[in-house]
Structure formats: structure tokens, C-alpha cells
Structure 1
Amino acid sequence: MGNDLLNVLVDKAFRRELPTRSEALELLSDTHDLLEVVAAAARLRRAHFGNRVKLNTIVNLKSGLCPEDCGYCSQRLGSASDVLKYSWITPAEAAEVAGQAVEAGAKRVCLVASGRGPGERDITRLEQTIAAIKDDHPKVEVCVCLGLLGDGQAERLAAAGAHAYNHNLNTSESRYADICSTHTFADRTDTVRRAGRAGLSPCSGAIFGMGESDDDIVDIARALRELDPDSVPVNFLIPFDGTPLEGRWELTPERCLRILAVFRFHFPDVEVRLAGGREIHLRAMQPLALHLANSIFLGDYLTSEGQPGVDDRQLIADAGFVIEGADEPTLPAARHDLVTVRRRGAGTELPANA
């Protein structure tokens, strides 16, 4: 009976149909054997992404001293975490760090800066930084993460050569106020939509291990699905000392894998990225997670160190996967086929589609 449901979910996912709430909750429970759940979701990952793993890297352009109070973040207002704190690095410094990662196999460079959102001078800095990176590595994807976007800012980033914009929803709308009081869930969804309207590839995900319930996990997956992002980072809380969530170690490797499986069923043909905290929460189960996620961060994160890049590359090879090349398209062609330029109706001689 359990396999019957998993087969139904796989068939639905191939049609891009969402699991029902009860089906998703069942995946998070111990009703179905973990390996059977992973094997079912892995069918979707293999069908859409083969055995490729996309490598991404983070360049932290400005660290610490953020005015927002996100409870999970070591850079938050009032944080006592002993993390690096510095103002903007130069475009040349950013390009050097990015170049090292690209030479190590990274296909996407994520440029991140702490803060509520960028000012006009910050956008200018990003324009210069993107140009510096592209001068040496014209094929690399550049993703930008600067917080909440204002009018015209996404358009400027797109014109400068940015490929994507990241802004995570992080947790369910119903409990968002529990982790942050300085902005709202709606502020975050607004920024993701602004990025998409400007032609930037939307990137938005979540953080788990903050006390969320199974219902919260399903809620955030469904909220993200409504935004239709091209990439979805799945983070597992790194409970820094000096933050409100310090000492919270509630995740297990099995819990992480079940969360990843739920996200794969919600995002069958989307880049699901294994992001922060994978080393400390998945531990020896990291190779199994690659059967669910088709993308990982290479090396270090914003304020914590990841495992050495050589170990990441060995992990991928040992698990039977290969690193995705710069010239290989990440997303399946079908996702791009969903957008069709209008050639009928007003302004043409053909009837409207009504």
C-alpha cells in the first residue's frame, strides 16, 4: 500500500501536480520506509537532472551588522555571535574569490550582502562587481542576494548581467513573526516577485530546524510553489551561539532527508539546492541527499565554514554523480517551454485565446 501511494505521487509530480496536504504530511511521518521515500523522489530527480550536480558558491560581500532581527541569523541586530564583521569588499576582491570557486567547478556565484535592502550606491557596487566577475568568467551565472528590493533595482541588476536573485521565505507565513519582527512574510514574497518580473531567475527557499511543525513544512513548500522559483535552497539551521536559536539541535539525518523528499515532490523539475547546515545535520547521509537535491554549495557559507571543496567533489564522485558543466542547461527544457510569447489577439490578425 505504501509503494502504491509513492507511485501515485511520482506520477502526479511528472504532471507537475502538487501532493495533497495529507500526502505530504505522510511523507514526513514514519509511515513509509525512508529509503522507499528517497527512491521514489529520486526518480524525479534522475528524470529531470540525470546524474548531474550543480556547484554554487557564496561570496559574502558585506558581513555582519545587519539592522534586521531574524532569529536564525548570526549577522542579526544585537547578535553576540563571533562572526566576521566587515564592510563592502571591492569588486576586484569579489572577482578573485569568485574566480577561485569557478576554477574549482562552481557554475553559479552567489553575491550576498547583509542588510535590509540595497541603497543606490549598493546597486552601483553590484554592477561593478558583476562586471569584474564576468570579465574573467563570462559564462558563470551570477545570483544576487541583497535583501528587500525597491523600485527599479531588480531591473538594474538584470541589465548589469545578474542571472538570478535570491530571497528566501525561510518559514511558513503563520509563524514568520516568531522569527522576525523587522519585516514581514509579504515583504519577502514581494521581492521574489519583483525579481521575476525584471527577468531575473527567482531563487527562494527555506530554513528548517527552527521549531517548525510538519504543517509548517508543507505550508512553506506550497507557498514557494506559488512563486514558481527556478531554484529552491533547502537550509538546515546552524544554531550559532549568540542568536535566539542557539543550542537548538532538533534535526536528524532522517528528518532532513524526508524534508528534501517533500520538496522534490513539490518541485520535480526545479533546481533543489542542498544548502547551509548539510554537513552537520546530514553527516554520513550526504551522499543519499544527492539523490534528492541536484545542486549544492561548494565550500563555505556566509558566516560558517563548510567542508573543503575537495571533499565536496569527492562526495559527488563517490555517490556516482558528476559535476554539471558550464555549458549544460540546469533546468529541463520543459520549464522554459511553459512561457510562450504572445503571437495572437490584440495587435495581430489572429483571434485571441479566449
Structure 2
Amino acid sequence: MHDVATGTWHGLADRVLAGESIGRDEALSILRADDTQVLDILAAAYRIRHRYHGNTVQLYFLMNAKSGLCPEDCGYCSQSKISTAPVEKYTILNREKLMDAARVAAERKAKTYCLVISARGPNEREMKAVETIVPEIKAKYDLKICACLGLLTEEHAQRLKAAGVDRVNHNLNTSENHYKEICTTHTFADRKETLHHVRNAGMELCSGGIIGMGETDDDVVDMAMELRELKVESIPLNFLNAVDGTPLEGNDQLTPAYCLKALAMFRFVNPDRELRISGGREIHLRSLQPLGLYAANSMFVGDYLTTQGQPPQADYDMIRDLGFEVTINEETVSS
């Protein structure tokens, strides 16, 4: 703790770059540092980011392929059975709409097309739709496919792998200790079981969480450590957009500085992983959004599931102004 106690965040980065895993106390010290230290923390986090990802940024495109109609009671979600938020409700989209979204993803310089449905888990019709569309998308566009279909069985995971899905997203969302406060219709253990099925099927793991749901600093660190233990390839970090009509409406405990410290902490704990600034960045990081990319190395371009993001050109401009470059399959493209 000596390096952190004396404010030398670069000393902590030196240890991470030398292959040392930081502990809980050090991770907590990042979250609890005075806001005036944010730039020093980010400068140290950037050294780790640069070691593994250079100045590259990977873009993701999110498609809400089935909206609403979810039987789960996740308190943060506008599509849950207990939400009264006025969101669109529709069953899984047809081939034409899913292919058109893939075209948009390619046009927006995204590396990965994220196919998402709202559900406890996929039914047979939804599985067959995904199995049919994924090979077609991959044949026409040079896109990676990430599927987010809810809780998966071992059979589901094997079928997705066979269809050509590269990666499955299933967020832990918060710590095991806090999980019962945000959902009662399934457990933290259920979510981890899905991740194990995905790993055993030979696909990459995309799993992160949401900051700002009434959790403690310890909960945030627990989630970061759990993701490190699971060795997930990609970590999307969301900042709660407290939608009216959800149990967490009006929950507004986040500051831009805290969000930046959380991103930095996740980089220190998971140094070589892909770290994505996800939902809520526009409303919580606000004018400090560009600073987030000194810790993170990927982001969604365009809208989220039921909320809007900023215009894609604003993202391209932000990346260019930082001196960073968009990458697709390890090749840079003009922004």
C-alpha cells in the first residue's frame, strides 16, 4: 500500500506492468482517492492500457433484436416484467431487419455486432433465428458476432458456437453480495453458470456490470475481481441510466470523477482485458467522456438497448481528437 498511500499511482502501475495482480485494498484506494487525483490515476492507467492496446479503440454496435416482454425482475432494466417504462415490445426481428442492422454496424466501423434479446433465456424459435442469421451476417460483412440471449444451457452454448458466434455477453452486473438487491428471479450463481457453459463451448466471454445501483465500493471491487478470476476477454462497464418506471428510477449517485476512477480501477485489476465504456457514459461522464478512453479501449457507437447514445460522428471526432485510432480486426481505419 505504500505506493498508493503516498499518491504515486505510477508505482502501482509499475507493479501491474511487472505482472503483479493488485489486491482489494489497492483497488479500493483507487475508488476512494480524492477527485483531484483523477488525472494522476488515469495517467497511470493509460500506461497499462497502452502496453496492451496501444492507442487503438474498438467499436461495438448493439442491436436490440427482441424488446420488452421479459419475465425477469432486474431492477435496472426498462424491459423487465416490473418496469412501467414506455419501451417498444416486439418478438425477435426478421432476417431483413437483422441484416440491415449488420450493414449499419459495418458502415459505422464497428468490429463487433452485438445481437441482444430480452428474455430469461432463448426459446427454440429464437435459437433457430440466431443460428440462421449469424452465418449469413459473417458471410456478407467482416463482423465479429457477440450474442446476448440471457441464461444459457450447455446445449445452447454448443449450438451458438457451431453457428459461428464468437463471443457471448452475459454480465455479472454487480457483486454476488449485492445481486439479491437488484434481482430475485435468478441468482448470481445462475449467471456464472452461463459463463461457464460459454467458456466450455469454446467461445470468448464478454461480461461486465453496472455502476450506480446503490452498491458499495466493496461491491464494485468484488465485481472487478470476480471478472479477473473468470478471465473474461471483454468487460463492458455501464453507468446506470435510471429510467423512469424502473425500481431504480431517480437513483443518481454517480459523478464523472467516480466513473473515471471506476474505469481506471477495472484497468488496474484487469490490465490486458478489453475494457468498454458502455451505457450511461453520455449522461454520467458528460464533458469528461474523452478521459474515459485513457483507461478503456473500446466503446459502443450509436444507441443502446432502449436509450439513445450520442451521434456516431461525435464518437469518431472524440477518438480522433485524442490521437487514437479505430481498429477493425487489428487494422486501423480512418475516423
Superposed pair shares fold, TM > 0.5? yes
Q: 1:46 aligns with which of 44, 50, 57?
A: 50
Higher mean alpha-carbon deviation, 32-41 vs 305-314, is at 32-41
> What does residue 90 of structure 1 align with?
94
Deviation digits for residues 212-265 of structure 1, max 9, x if unmatched? 111111111111111100000000001000000001111110000000000000
- In the alignment, structure 1 residue 237 sits paired with structure 2 residue 258: no
Moved more, 9-18 or 141-150: 9-18
Are 1:220 and 2:223 an aligned pair?
yes
Equivalent position of 2:60 in the other structure: 56
Paired residues of 1:90 and 1:129 also in contact (CA < 8 A): no
Q: Which sits farther off after the overlay, 91-100 or 197-206?
A: 91-100
What corresponds to 2:295 in structure 1?
Answer: 292
Hey, what's the Cα distance between the residues in 2 that align with 1:20 and 1:48?
21
Matched-pair contact (CA < 8 Å) for 1:91–1:132: no
Give the Å deviation of 1:4.
Answer: 6.5
Q: What secondary structure sits across from 1:143 in the alignment?
A: strand
Q: CA RMSD in A?
A: 1.5
Once the two structures are TM-superposed, the CA of residue 154 in structure 1 deviates from its matched residue by 0.8
Q: Does 1:276 align with 2:296?
A: no
Which amino acid in the other structure matches residue 195 of structure 2?
Answer: V
Equivalent of 1:312 in 304, 315, 319: 315
* Alignment of structure 1 residues 5-20 onto 2, 5 Å: 5-20=8-23
SS of corresponding position for 1:37: helix
Q: CA deviation at 1:13?
A: 1.9
Deviation digits for residues 24-49 of structure 1, max 9, x if unmatched?
Answer: 11111135711110100110111111
Partner of 1:349: none
2:155 equivalent among 152, 155, 166? 152
Percent of pairs identical after alignment?
49
- TM-score under structure 2 normalisation? 0.95
Structure 1 residue 142 and structure 2 residue 145: aligned? yes
The Cα of 1:78 is off from its aligned counterpart by 2.2
Q: Distance in 1 between matches of 2:313 and 2:306?
A: 20
Matched, 1:116 2:91: no
Aligned to 2:27: 24
TM-score (norm: length of structure 1): 0.90
What is the rounded CA distance, in whole Å, between the counterparts of 2:185 and 2:254 in structure 1? 27
How far apart are 1:328 and its partner, in Å? Answer: 3.8
Distance 1:157 1:257, change over 3 A: same
Question: Within 2, Cα distance between the matches of 1:16 and 1:223?
Answer: 18
Pair 1:181 & 2:181 matched: no
Residue 79 of structure 1 deviates from its aligned partner by 1.0
The aligned residue for residue 39 of structure 2 is 35
* Residues 339-350 of structure 1: pairs in structure 2 closer than 5 A: none
How far apart, CA to CA, are the structure 1 residues paired with 2:168 and 2:55? 26
- Measure the CA separation in 1 of the matches of 2:327 and 2:135: 24
Q: 2:200 maps to which residue?
A: 197
CA distance in 2 between counterparts of 1:100 and 1:77 reads 30
Q: Runs of 5+ in structure 2 lacking a partner?
A: none
CA distance in 1, matches of 2:15, 2:26: 11
| 1:209 counterpart letter in structure 2 | G
State the shift of 1:327 in Å. Answer: 4.4
Following superposition, the deviation at residue 16 of structure 1 comes to 4.1
Q: Which amino acid aligns with 2:162?
A: A
Larger Rg: 1
Contact 1:16 1:268 in 2 (8 A): no
Question: What secondary structure sits across from 1:78 in the alignment?
Answer: coil
Amino acid at match of 1:68: E
CA-to-aligned-CA distance 1:293-334 (integer Å, 9 cap, x gap): 0000000000001001111111111111110123449xxxxx
State the partner residue of 1:258. 261
* 1:249 equivalent in alignment to 2:252: yes
Q: Distance in 2 between matches of 1:64 and 1:17?
A: 43
AA aligned to 2:58 is K
Query: Match for residue 107 of structure 1?
Result: 111
* CA separation of 1:19 and 1:5: change in aligned 2, threshold 3 A: farther
